[in-house]
Amino acid sequence: MSADCLFRPLASNPHTVQIEFEGTSLSVPGDVSLAAALLASGIRHTRESAVNGRPGAPYCMMGVCFECLVEVDGHANVQACLVPVRPGLRVRRQRGAADLALREVCADE
Amino acid sequence: MSNAAIDLIIIGAGPAGMGAALEARAHGMSVAVLDKQASPGGQIYRQVLEADARRRAVLGDDYNVGAKLAADFLQCGARYLPNAAIWQVTPQRQVHYLIEGRAEVLQARHLLIATGAFERPMPIPGWTVPGVMTAGAGQILLKSAALVPACPLVLAGCGPLLYLLAVQYLRAGIAIEALVDTSKRGDLLRAWRMAPAALRGWRDLLKGLGLLAELKRAGIRHVRGACNLEVEGTDRARALVFDSEGQRQRIPAELILLHQGVVPNTQISWSLRLEHNWSEQQLCWVARRDAWGETSVPGIFIAGDSGAIGGAGVARLEGRLAALAMAGQSAQARPVQQALHRARAARPLLDALYRAPPGHRIPADDVTVCRCEEVSAGDIRRYVDLGCLGPNQTKAFGRCGMGPCQGRQCGLSVTEIIAGHRQVTPAEVGYYRIRSPLKPITLAQLAGETLPVEEPS
C-alpha cells in the first residue's frame, strides 16, 4: 500500500485482496467497502465530474453524497461506499455521466 | 417470499427501528425491517456485532451498548432484510426495494420510517476537494473498516460528534494537528441561560464536558471561535485556513474532516408528500408528527432522527412509542413517555450550543453548493434575480439538485440561500419535490419487479 494514503488499517497485519483500479493491479484491505479500500490504498480521487471534470472522492461514506461513484466490472454509477470490496473487481473512475454503451453490457446478462 | 401484508414494515435498523421492532414483536405483530447496511445498528452502532476488542475500546461505551440491542433485535422474530436499497415508498404503504440486484415489493398495514440522520452540509470554499470528508465518514471508516487517518489531520466545525471522533482517534493513538472549533468558549453558559430546563439532561451534558476535558488533557490544539473556514488546494487538500482572534490562520493538513451537526434524512417523508415544518431550532425540515410519531398520512409513522434530531436514546424510545401505538397498546406507554421526556431535556441546549454559523450554511457566491451539478451559491442568487422562487425551480434554471444525490447534499443550503436572497423565511421558500426512484434502479430491474398479491387497502 502506498505511503501516500489518507487512511491506514488500525490492525498491523490486515487481510488484503487484489483488485484492478484504472487497469493497474492494486492490493487493498479486504472485508471493507470498496470506497474504504481505495482510501486506504493511495487513491485520492475516484470520479471526475460530469459537468466540469472536477476530481471527486468519497465524502460521506454512508450512501448520501454520491461522490464515490465508480464503474465496477462495467457497471456505471456504483456507490463505492455501499459495495464490499471483492478479489478481482475491475474498478474505474466514473468519468462524466454513465456511458450509453453500457446497454450492451446489460443485454449480455 | 410471502406477499401477504405485514403488520409493520420498518425502514432502517438503527436504534429507532430496532427499538420499534422489539416492542412490536413483544405485542405479537408481524414485522419486517429493511436496511441498507449489511448488519443492524444504523450509523451510530454500525457493525457493532462485528467489532473486535480493540475497536470497541477505541469507540467507547456509547457505541458498545448497541451490541445488546442489535443482538436482541436479531432474536426478536422480525423478518430482517439487510442490504436493501429502497427506491420507492407509496402512501398506500407499499415499500419497493432492490436486494441482491432484484426489485421486490412488500405491503404493510403500518409503516415506520426510521432512516436516521446525515450530516448537515458544510459548504465552505474548498469542501469539494479530495481529502475533505465529513467527521461522520471518518467515524464510519473506524467503525466499519477499522481504518484510521494516515496523514496530517484537522477536524473542523462544531458539535458533539466532532469531539467524540477526536477522542476516539486519541484512544487509537492518532495525531491530530488541530481541532478548529466554530463554537466559542463562553457559548455553554450563554446557551444554558437560554435553556435552563436542560439541567434535567445533565448526564448527556456531563458526557460532552468529559470529552472536552479528555482532549484538553491530551494537549490537542483546540482553536475556539473560528470563522470563515476555507480549504486550500485544488486537486487535493493542502491546509485549512480560518479567522481566529482577529487573525487569518493556516494549518497544513491533507485530511480535513468537517462536521456541523446532523439533520433528519427526510428523503422518504418528502417523497410521500407528508407535511413538513421548518424547525428554526434545528435549522432543518421536520415532518409533522403527533405525540406517537404518526405523520399527516394515517398509518405512516416516523421515529428517531429522521423525524427530528434527538440522538440514539430518544430514537429508541420513539421507536417503542410508535410501536405501542400501532399495536393498540397506548395504555402501556406511560413509562416510555416519561423516559422520552428526560432523554429530550438536553436537546434545546445542544441545538443552541452547536448551531451551525450562518456563513457556513449560506455561503458566499463562489462556493459550490450542489456538488453533483456544480452549482454555486452565486448561481442560485442569480436564478432568484431572474425570478426563481424556490428550490424546485432551481432545477429548471440550472439543474441544481438534479444530480445523483437528489438534493441530499445541497437541499438545506439552497432553501436558506433563496430565503436569504428573497428576504423571506425558509418555510415560505420550501424544499425540493423529491420523487422516486430514491436510489438508482435500472429499467431491467424495474421490469422484473414482483408485485404483491394483496391489493393495498
Q: pLDDT tens for residues B81-109?
A: 999 999 999 999 999 999 998 999 999 99
Q: Which of B161-175, B194-208, B367-381, B439-453 comes out lowest in average pLDDT?
A: B194-208
Q: Which residues of A are less than 8 Å from B146 in CB distance?
A: 9-11, 14, 32
CB atoms B148 and A7 under 8 Å: yes
From the list B119, B131, B404, the residue facing A44 with the nearest CB is B131
Q: Per residue in B282-292, pLDDT tens? A: 999 999 999 99
From the list B136, B140, B374, the residue facing A49 with the nearest CB is B374
State what percent of residues in chain B have pLDDT above 70.
95
d(CA B389, CA B210): 46
Per-residue pLDDT at A109 exceeds 60: no
Q: Please give the pLDDT value at position B349.
A: 87
When pLDDT is averaged across residues B183-200 and rounded to a whole number, the result is 71
Q: Which residues of B are less than 8 Å from A49 in CB distance?
A: 374
Q: Please give the pLDDT value at position B1.
A: 44
Q: Which residues of B are less than 8 Å from A34 in CB distance?
A: none
Which burial class, exposed, middle or buried, applies to B331 when counting CB atoms under 10 A from its CB (0-12, 13-18, 19+)?
Answer: exposed
Contacts A–B by Cβ distance under 8 A? 121
Residue B201: pLDDT band by 50, 70, 90 thresholds?
A: low
Q: Which residues of B are less than 8 Å from A64 in CB distance?
A: 118, 265, 405, 408-409
Q: Which residues of A are less than 8 Å from B254 in CB distance?
A: 6
Q: How does the average pLDDT of chain B come out, rounded?
A: 93
Q: Which amino acid is at A18?
A: Q
Per-residue pLDDT at A103 exceeds 50: no
Nearest CA in chain A to B410: A65
d(CA B442, CA A100): 13
What homologous superfamily does CATH list for B122-260?
Answer: FAD/NAD(P)-binding domain (3.50.50.60)
CB atoms A69 and B43 under 8 Å: no
Q: Please give the pLDDT value at position A55.
A: 95
Q: Which residues of A are less than 8 Å from B172 in CB distance?
A: 10
Alpha carbon B292 to its chain's center: 21
Number of Cβ within 10 Å of residue B447's Cβ equals: 8
* B122-260 and B362-425 agree in CATH topology: no
Q: Please give the pLDDT value at position B211.
A: 87
Closest approach of A65 to chain B, Cα-based (Å): 5
CB atoms A60 and B255 under 8 Å: no
Higher pLDDT, B348 or B327: B327
Q: Which amino acid is at B320?
A: R
ipTM at complex level: 0.91
Domain range list for chain A: 16-98
Instruction: Count CA within 13 A, CB hemisphere, residue A58.
Output: 30
Q: Per residue in A37-69, pLDDT tens? A: 999 999 999 999 989 999 999 999 999 999 999
Check residue A88 and give left, alpha or beta (phi > 0: left; psi -120 to 50: alpha).
left
Residue in this structure with the C-alpha cell 488500525, named with its chain if needed: A10
Closest approach of A6 to chain B, Cα-based (Å): 5
Q: Per residue in B204-229, pLDDT tens? A: 777 778 888 899 999 999 999 999 99
When pLDDT is averaged across residues B440-455 and rounded to a whole number, the result is 80
Give the Å distances, CA to CA, from B269 to A63, B84, B216, B265, B352.
18, 18, 41, 8, 26
Dihedral sign, Cα of residue B20, residue B140, residue A71, residue A94: positive
As assigned by CATH, the class of the B6-118+263-328 domain is alpha beta
Alpha carbon B351 to its chain's center: 14
Mutation site, B52, B118, B134, B141, interface A, largest A CB count within 10 A: B141
Closest approach of B375 to chain A, Cα-based (Å): 10
Q: Which CATH code is given to the segment(s) A16-98? A: 3.10.20.440
Q: Which residues of B are less than 8 Å from A51 in CB distance?
A: 373-374
Q: Please give the pLDDT value at position B195.
A: 66
Q: Per residue in B309-334, pLDDT tens? A: 999 999 999 999 999 999 999 999 99
Residue B69: pLDDT band by 50, 70, 90 thresholds?
A: very high
Q: Please give the pLDDT value at position A96.
A: 75
For the entire predicted model, the pTM comes to 0.93
Q: Please give the pLDDT value at position B198.
A: 66
d(CA A62, CA A66): 9
Domain range list for chain B: 6-118+263-328, 122-260, 362-425
Q: Which residues of B are less than 8 Å from A77 in CB distance?
A: 404, 440
CB atoms B145 and A36 under 8 Å: yes
Nearest CA in chain B to A52: B374
Which strands form B132-134's sheet, in the order they lie side by side?
B132-134, B255-260, B153-158, B178-181, B222-223
d(CA B268, CA B113): 8
Give the Å distances, CA to CA, from B315 to B44, B46, B255, B306, B308.
11, 15, 31, 9, 9
CB atoms A84 and B38 under 8 Å: yes
Per-residue pLDDT at B367 exceeds 70: yes
Note the maximum CA span of chain B. 67
Residue B200: pLDDT band by 50, 70, 90 thresholds?
A: low
Per-residue pLDDT at B422 exceeds 60: yes
Dihedral sign, Cα of residue B196, residue B198, residue B202, residue B206: negative
Q: Please give the pLDDT value at position A108.
A: 46
CB atoms A40 and B145 under 8 Å: yes
Whether A96 contacts chain B with CB within 8 A: no
d(CA B167, CA B188): 20
Per-residue pLDDT at B118 exceeds 70: yes
Q: Which fold has domain B362-425?
A: Arc Repressor Mutant, subunit A (1.10.10)
